[in-house]
Chains A and B, each alone.
Chain A
């Protein structure tokens, strides 16, 4: 039993079970292309529906819970669903549905090999994502986190050439390295300090670490916190962010769903879960940097709370990643560094500990997902239609592919933070959060990143629409790619605008989570 639980029901297992058996069906239908893809569509729809069915109770203030088995005293495999779970749990299968259509267009358009392995791993990766979203304790979280890592490796390695080998190897070394070196010891330390691994789901102020535990060994608790933060390599905080651009060797739908949605969102979700449900805003705000021997007590650095310290690391990440993005000509590399920066928005939000900052940060998990997936899908669509990857070669292409670039434009506005697209809403809350928590340098960093985002997204657009193409490029031969590619990205772009006008969609879940 954990605190704050109101409904014990096996209903919460539905999404987990569906995504567990979906890969089996994909493999079963390996000889019939259409049936195989159909499984993914059906599974995505069913998973989304089953997660959605949990929503009314959650919006009412209740928390779902179910324990599957106990391995050792205090170590169980258990699932729970609260507001935070649903923010992630809803977007993963929803976007999986659209990416499946996109997958079909992409994989068949390029006549890719090993498609069954691809779809199976995709499905298992979503299983991992759902598991992370619905995990009730650190052990379950860790388990599904590693499932995602292991089963996305074949997806990154898909092309099986030299570049893929290097990229995939780096991917797994970074993610496994951080999880084994940092996350695992963090889990062990938590168990030793607290006695169990269950998240405190009742509120975000108090965490698993009771005041007595914190008073007894503050340095160890602080150390555990930092091990957790750096252990979640999927959140791409500097200096452990390099796996993300290297994972771009994967086919674009993989980049789209997994590295814009499932993998990286699992990462920042874990950070949110750890800060809000494992430590709580009180503990995270109480322990200072001096307790991990960074800075001397009495100085600004020494007295900075560990949460705000994380916020500054994230702030540094978001500014530097934006600077680097300005230098990249490969469109996927530019988008990868943009993702690194945007993930840090979530981390900055949730670690500033102010109400509006947490609202902005958690909402951004969803808002960024819709906009980023549009951008990656557009990049992939451009590749399928033209085999072009470099932005400097895309002059004038927008007039041949107006829908693709139009959707890219809307999603870019969201990244920059222009009203009325959804990125503006989360940025608005984040900026209010910096004011509420009196962190002026973070305010400057957020505003600076707006200008930098404009600097590296707008040229892509104006060159595509308004610059005359060079005659050698022979742009006239290109046309809009097939509908299976273009429709999903237009839908996600439209949703980005919808979320900007009706931010209550995800704000309601956040408000229930924090009881704002």
Chain B
């Protein structure tokens, strides 16, 4: 094992730089860009597997010491699966000529690795923002009308999430004096812990903060979606595992997510949106496992994350292949593809059976660990919720999606089918082989799990296998019985994003436009009020000059004359009048003296 650490983000940053400056003509050569694109994750994988546990890569920035390379079992297992899916994704996306795809995906993946290996929250934040930028561009790379708005909403949403993280980590720094990224104690939670948790939960798509996922992922580019389904949410799972293991609220939130996701998946029409809601559901298992916090459930969450990256990546690759060759993934428009795209169907079914937890595939070995762990920790309700979600998963992703896409009662797909490039099959095959391999030989995955358990988990007990088989089999029966009802129709289903959009609209109409109108009025005040006042004052002074001063001068002459006239009038020569005047005058003076004395 080497003592130097090749940070896996480095080869991806290099790939981004190379792709950015490479001449367009050179980049058109598929073999060349393929080799470079696959080389980056291979180097990253080497870097992940070849290093000894420890702390590496201290850097000075903004008067702080950032530690970029915390290598231990937890970061290694995530680093490993990230590198593997990056290899599959590199093969899968090799046919894309657009340089933007390589730059954006590399920056995104580099951000993911950076977060996983960061030892302090400031580093996490910096790479978190990098991930946000990279993934936004992957959405825009689709270059369709819907992707434009979706990318913007995604960016604003993740910026706000990042700000919660920033506020939290700064408050934590002020309170504790350090940015160190360590586990937060659920018993002594501070405001900053909650703020950081909120920031993490945005990326983990915890309900009700999840609506960005089904909004943006179906609209991402074909190659980009493969990366996106893996990195954003699993990085969030990693940071939650690192920092918030054992927080009760996560256990409940996770179970809610698990059920919520499958409920929507049952009624959605767009295949990629079904998968997106599934991400919410499966991440719910992981979040719940982290929330329960025993060694078994934490291991379950990590194992689930590992397996999920592989089979979800494969699911997105397969549906992406359908999108590439047929042009749509709306289930009501598909059907009869099994005979035209048989290998896509086979690879899809491998992933579908994995996600459903069918024995012999890797989903079985990870999902059962989480549920068993939940039950052993006496969280019966949570375990029940997870089983419900498992039923829904099989029905929607395991049967509904492939049935309506590949068969759907239609004999044969009649539309145009573009041939799928070979590299896409290679990418899918890599993921598919690993799904089966881990399912058959679970030790392959279990040996990397970071938490020590009292007794090892044995998935291959006969009763567990039979139970899984029964659950899945009879869920399939349920589908068979309701296959008319569950037929997808082309509708949009309202989700929490209605509220987010409302906030945007209300802000504009209740705050921005009124402020602008007030400003428009105020900006004329200098003229309407100010200048007029000035001119009036000028007129006033001239009036004062003409009327006032002249009047005073003339007036004092008049007044003197008038006083004289009045004085003349007052001289009535009546003594009683004089006495009356004198009395009034005297009393007046007395009153004044008495009051002010």
Direct contact of A and B (CB under 8 A): yes
A interface residues, Cβ below 8 angstroms from B: 170, 173-174, 177, 239, 242, 245-246, 320, 323-324, 326-328, 416, 418-419, 425, 428, 431-432, 435-436, 443, 447, 450-451, 454-455, 458-459, 462-463, 465-468, 503
Q: Is the CB of B526 within 8 A of A454?
A: no
Q: Quick one: which of B136-156 are within 8 Å of A by CB?
A: 140, 143, 145, 147-148, 151-152, 155-156
Contact of A419 (CB < 8 Å), options: B129, B156, B170, B531:
B129
Q: How far is the CA of A246 from the CA of B522 in the complex (A)?
A: 13
Q: Is the CB of B152 within 8 A of A458?
A: yes
Q: Quick one: which of B527-565 are within 8 Å of A by CB?
A: 527, 530-531
Q: Quick one: which of B472-531 are within 8 Å of A by CB?
A: 507-508, 511-513, 515-516, 519, 522-523, 526-527, 530-531
Report how many residues on chain B are interfacial, defined by Cβ distance under 8 Å: 36
Nearest-CB distance from B99 to chain A (Å)? 12
Chain A residues, Cβ within 8 Å of B167: 443, 447
Chain A residues, Cβ within 8 Å of B163: 447, 450-451
Q: Is the CB of A418 within 8 A of B508?
A: no
Q: Is the CB of A173 within 8 A of B519?
A: no
Q: Is the CB of B516 within 8 A of A327?
A: yes
B interface residues, Cβ below 8 angstroms from A: 62, 126, 129, 133, 140, 143, 145, 147-148, 151-152, 155-156, 159-160, 163, 166-167, 170-171, 173-174, 507-508, 511-513, 515-516, 519, 522-523, 526-527, 530-531
Q: Is the CB of A455 within 8 A of B148?
A: no
Q: Is the CB of A327 within 8 A of B159?
A: no
Q: Is the CB of A177 within 8 A of B129?
A: no
A-B interface, 3 closest residue pairs, ranked by CB to CB distance from nearest:
A242-B523, A327-B516, A466-B140
- Give me 12 other A-B pairs in contact (C-beta within 8 A), A450-B163, A458-B155 excluded: A170-B523, A242-B523, A245-B523, A323-B507, A323-B516, A324-B519, A327-B508, A327-B516, A418-B133, A432-B170, A454-B155, A465-B140
Q: How far is the CA of A447 from the CA of B163 in the complex (A)?
A: 7
Nearest-CB distance from B17 to chain A (Å)? 14
Contact of B171 (CB < 8 Å), options: A328, A419, A435, A465:
A435
Q: Is the CB of A173 within 8 A of B155?
A: no
Chain B residues, Cβ within 8 Å of A447: 163, 166-167
Q: How far is the CA of A272 from the CA of B159 in the complex (A)?
A: 31
Smallest CB gap from A240: residue in B: B526
Q: Is the CB of A458 within 8 A of B156?
A: yes
Chain B residues, Cβ within 8 Å of A462: 140, 148, 151-152
Chain A residues, Cβ within 8 Å of B147: 466
Nearest-CB distance from B517 to chain A (Å)? 9
Q: Is the CB of B148 within 8 A of A467?
A: yes
Chain B residues, Cβ within 8 Å of A170: 523, 526-527
Q: How far is the CA of A428 from the CA of B133 in the complex (A)?
A: 19
Judged by DSSP, the binding face of B is: helix
Chain B residues, Cβ within 8 Å of A173: 526, 530-531
Chain B residues, Cβ within 8 Å of A431: 166, 170
Q: Is the CB of B126 within 8 A of A174?
A: no
Q: How far is the CA of A416 from the CA of B129 in the complex (A)?
A: 12
Q: Is the CB of A425 within 8 A of B62?
A: yes
Which of B62, B167, B512 gathers the greatest number of chain A CB atoms within 10 Å?
Answer: B512
Contact of B170 (CB < 8 Å), options: A320, A418, A435, A503:
A435
Q: How far is the CA of A416 from the CA of B163 in the complex (A)?
A: 12
Q: How far is the CA of A432 from the CA of B513 in the complex (A)?
A: 32
Chain B residues, Cβ within 8 Å of A467: 148
Q: Is the CB of A242 within 8 A of B522?
A: yes
Complex A-B: 14 CB contacts under 8 Å: A173-B531, A174-B526, A326-B508, A326-B512, A328-B516, A419-B126, A435-B170, A435-B173, A450-B163, A451-B160, A454-B156, A458-B155, A462-B152, A465-B140
Contact of B151 (CB < 8 Å), options: A177, A435, A466, A503:
A466
Chain A residues, Cβ within 8 Å of B512: 323-324, 326-327
Nearest-CB distance from B351 to chain A (Å)? 30
Nearest-CB distance from B165 to chain A (Å)? 11
Q: Is the CB of B159 within 8 A of A242?
A: no
Nearest-CB distance from B285 to chain A (Å)? 32
Chain A residues, Cβ within 8 Å of B145: 468
Smallest CB gap from B141: residue in A: A466
Q: How far is the CA of A397 from the CA of B530 in the complex (A)?
A: 42
Q: Is the CB of B526 within 8 A of A177?
A: yes
Chain A residues, Cβ within 8 Å of B166: 431, 447
Chain B residues, Cβ within 8 Å of A463: 148
Q: How far is the CA of A375 from the CA of B151 in the complex (A)?
A: 23
Nearest-CB distance from B377 to chain A (Å)? 38
Q: Is the CB of A466 within 8 A of B143?
A: yes
The answer to whether A239 and B522 touch (CB under 8 A), given A435-B170, A450-B163, A458-B156, is yes
Nearest-CB distance from B502 to chain A (Å)? 15
Contact of A459 (CB < 8 Å), options: B152, B171, B515:
B152
Q: How far is the CA of A288 from the CA of B382 in the complex (A)?
A: 57
Q: How far is the CA of A320 from the CA of B174 in the complex (A)?
A: 28
Q: How far is the CA of A121 from the CA of B133 in the complex (A)?
A: 42
Q: How far is the CA of A320 from the CA of B519 in the complex (A)?
A: 10
Nearest-CB distance from B219 to chain A (Å)? 12
Q: Is the CB of B156 within 8 A of A451?
A: yes
Chain B residues, Cβ within 8 Å of A246: 523
Which of A323, A328, A435 gathers the greatest number of chain B CB atoms within 10 Å?
Answer: A323
Chain A residues, Cβ within 8 Å of B152: 458-459, 462
Chain B residues, Cβ within 8 Å of A328: 516
Q: Is the CB of A323 within 8 A of B515?
A: yes
Q: How far is the CA of A458 from the CA of B149 in the complex (A)?
A: 11
Q: How far is the CA of A174 from the CA of B151 in the complex (A)?
A: 41
Q: How far is the CA of A70 from the CA of B163 in the complex (A)?
A: 53
Q: Is the CB of B515 within 8 A of A320?
A: yes
Chain A residues, Cβ within 8 Å of B143: 466
Q: How far is the CA of A239 from the CA of B530 in the complex (A)?
A: 14
Q: How far is the CA of A326 from the CA of B511 in the complex (A)?
A: 10
Chain A residues, Cβ within 8 Å of B148: 462-463, 466-467
The answer to whether A435 and B526 touch (CB under 8 A), given A447-B166, A462-B152, is no
Q: Is the CB of B129 within 8 A of A242?
A: no
Smallest CB gap from A356: residue in B: B63
Smallest CB gap from B140: residue in A: A466
Nearest-CB distance from B118 to chain A (Å)? 14
Smallest CB gap from B504: residue in A: A455
Chain B residues, Cβ within 8 Å of A425: 62
Nearest-CB distance from B13 to chain A (Å)? 12
Nearest-CB distance from A450 to chain B (Å)? 6
Smallest CB gap from A322: residue in B: B512
Smallest CB gap from B126: residue in A: A419
Chain A residues, Cβ within 8 Å of B508: 326-327
Q: Is the CB of B516 within 8 A of A324?
A: yes
Chain B residues, Cβ within 8 Å of A416: 159
Q: How far is the CA of A170 from the CA of B515 in the complex (A)?
A: 20
Which of A246, A466, A467, A503 gathers the greatest number of chain B CB atoms within 10 Å?
Answer: A466
Q: How far is the CA of A352 from the CA of B516 in the complex (A)?
A: 28
Q: Is the CB of A324 within 8 A of B170?
A: no
Smallest CB gap from B175: residue in A: A435
Smallest CB gap from B147: residue in A: A466
Chain B residues, Cβ within 8 Å of A503: 62
Q: Is the CB of B159 within 8 A of A454?
A: yes
Smallest CB gap from A467: residue in B: B148
Q: Is the CB of A177 within 8 A of B530?
A: yes
Nearest-CB distance from B557 to chain A (Å)? 39
Q: Is the CB of B513 within 8 A of A327?
A: yes
Q: How far is the CA of A7 from the CA of B300 in the complex (A)?
A: 70
Chain B residues, Cβ within 8 Å of A454: 155-156, 159
Nearest-CB distance from A510 to chain B (Å)? 13
Q: How far is the CA of A425 from the CA of B159 in the complex (A)?
A: 17
Q: How far is the CA of A29 from the CA of B241 in the complex (A)?
A: 71
Chain A residues, Cβ within 8 Å of B174: 435-436
Smallest CB gap from A434: residue in B: B170
Q: Is the CB of A242 within 8 A of B62?
A: no
The answer to whether A324 and B515 touch (CB under 8 A), given A419-B129, A435-B170, A462-B152, is yes
Nearest-CB distance from B199 to chain A (Å)? 12
Nearest-CB distance from A209 to chain B (Å)? 31
Nearest-CB distance from B560 to chain A (Å)? 40
